[in-house]
């Protein structure tokens, strides 16, 4: 709980999810959360727990993940040590990266700062944006850990047509792994393609994502692209949500949490309150 003896610290970080069993701590398994919390606890010499913007599954990566934690104000100020010219946030980035580098070297802290009043990494976001990378040519062994190679040839024109103008408020029941008592209604802000000779990048942004929602939408798009499903199949499932065995989950390693968008500093507290009031907290989990 944040009080007047602690600072709430926002930390932005990136990671290669390949060596980890997802974000969330699991007994006996390496996870991103465990690595970060262990690093922070080592630096501050006391247990530190973090809150994340969106929990990623095993093998999913992040270009810019956001977390927050509570740090005793005195310990925060001591981070700079004898170097008066170095700010505590600069010292945290340097020290935490040093600790994390001793492990797999797959996590990198990008920046740290004292969070504005009311900030909550999980409940303050306006939206989250993901990209899913699909190989558009011969397999490249250098990108195999974060680019999916589909076994069948893809019709990129059919894929682009399938998601043209798909945005807005929908019930994503056909594309979510349901949780008891949780809603599958979300607002989709972006769903489009960027195509190069090497990669088909699928971009998705929404206010929040249900469990497996991103990978299920990509899976449906792949089925239309390879001819397994007829044009319009994804859109029909979106218009008529149903949970059935036709949902295909695209492999995790092609998915990257690209960015988490927050309102202005003076609005983050109100946004967090609105999100908590509108949505069951157990459902605010990302792919």
273 pLDDT more than 70: yes
Q: Over 60: is that where the pLDDT of 280 sits?
A: no
How far is the CA of 112 from the CAs of 88, 90, 94, 115, 282, in angstroms? 9, 7, 10, 9, 27
Given a cut of 50, is residue 285 above it in pLDDT? Answer: no
- The gap between the terminal CA atoms of the chain, to the nearest Å, is 27
Mean pLDDT of 206-211: 92
% the chain with pLDDT above 90 = 80
> What pLDDT is stored for residue 4 in this prediction?
77
The CATH-assigned architecture of domain 128-258 is 2-Layer Sandwich (3.30)
For residue 18, pLDDT beyond 70: yes
CATH entry, 6-124, from 3.40.1010.10, 3.60.20.10, 3.30.70.2860, 3.30.70.580: 3.30.70.580
Reduce the DSSP state of residue 92 to 3 states and report it.
helix
Catalytic site residues? 57
Confidence of residue 103 (pLDDT cuts 50, 70, 90): confident
Identical fold for domains 6-124 and 128-258, yes or no, is yes
d(CA 67, CA 52) in angstroms, rounded, equals 4
230 vs 181: which has the higher pLDDT:
230
Q: Where are the alpha helices (DSSP H) in the chain?
A: 32-44, 73-78, 88-100, 156-162, 213-225, 233-239, 268-278
Q: What is the residue-averaged pLDDT of the chain?
A: 92
Give SS3 for 83.
coil
Structure confidence at residue 284 (pLDDT): 41
Between residues 3 and 164, which one has the greater pLDDT?
Answer: 164
* String of DSSP letters for 94-160: HHHHHHHTTTTS-EEEEEEEEPPTT--TTTS-SEEEEEEEEE-SS--GGGTTTSB--SS---HHHHH
Per-residue pLDDT averaged across 169-189, rounded? 88
Hey, how many other C-beta atoms are within 10 angstroms of the C-beta on 68?
Answer: 20
Give yes or no for residue 282 having a pLDDT over 80: no
Residue 208, by phi and psi: left (phi above 0), alpha (psi -120 to 50) or beta?
beta
- The predicted pLDDT at position 262 comes to 98
User: What is the spatial distance between Cα 277 and Cα 273, in angstroms, rounded to a whole number?
Assistant: 6
Asked whether the predicted pLDDT for residue 214 surpasses 80, the reply is: yes
Confidence of residue 1 (pLDDT cuts 50, 70, 90): low
83-92, 195-204, 222-231: the lowest-pLDDT one: 83-92
What pLDDT shows up at residue 177?
79
pTM of the model: 0.92
* pLDDT score at 178: 74
Q: Among 91-95, 126-130, 255-259, 272-276, name the one with the lowest average pLDDT.
A: 272-276
Q: Bigger pLDDT: 180 or 140?
A: 140
Neighbours of 151 (CB within 10 A): 5
* Phi, psi angle pair for 109, to nearest 5°: -80, 130
The pLDDT tens digits for 30-52 are 999 999 999 999 999 999 999 99
Going from N- to C-terminal start, the domains of the chain cover 6-124, 128-258
Weakest-pLDDT range from 85-94, 126-135, 172-181: 172-181
Taking residues 102-129, what's their average pLDDT?
A: 95
């Amino acid at each position: 709980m944040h009080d007047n003896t602690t600072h709430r610290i926002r930390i932005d970080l990136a990671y290669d999810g390949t060596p980890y069993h997802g974000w969330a701590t699991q007994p006996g398994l390496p996870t991103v959360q465990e690595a970060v919390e262990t690093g922070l606890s080592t630096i501050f010499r006391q247990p530190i727990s973090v809150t994340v913007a969106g929990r990623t599954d095993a093998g999913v990566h992040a270009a810019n993940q956001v977390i927050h934690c509570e740090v005793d104000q005195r310990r925060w100020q001591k981070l700079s040590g004898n170097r008066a010219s170095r700010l505590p946030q600069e010292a945290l980035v340097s020290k935490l990266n040093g600790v994390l580098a001793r492990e797999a070297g797959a996590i990198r802290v990008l920046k740290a700062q004292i969070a504005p009043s009311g900030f909550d990494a999980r409940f303050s976001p306006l939206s989250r944006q993901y990209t899913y990378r699909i190989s558009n040519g011969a397999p490249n062994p250098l990108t195999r850990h974060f680019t999916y190679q589909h076994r069948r040839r893809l019709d990129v024109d059919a894929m682009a047509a399938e998601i043209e103008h798909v945005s807005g408020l929908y019930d994503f029941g056909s594309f979510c792994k349901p949780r008891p008592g949780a809603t599958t209604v979300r607002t989709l802000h972006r769903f489009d393609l960027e195509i190069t000779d090497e990669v088909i990048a699928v971009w998705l942004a929404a206010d929040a994502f249900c469990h497996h929602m991103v990978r299920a939408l990509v899976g449906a798009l792949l089925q239309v692209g390879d001819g397994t499903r007829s044009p319009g199949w994804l859109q029909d499932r979106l218009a008529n949500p149903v949970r059935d065995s036709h949902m295909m989950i695209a492999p995790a390693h092609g998915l990257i949490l690209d960015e988490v968008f927050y309102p202005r500093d003076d609005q983050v507290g109100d946004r967090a309150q609105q999100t908590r009031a509108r949505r069951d907290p157990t459902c605010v989990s990302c792919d």
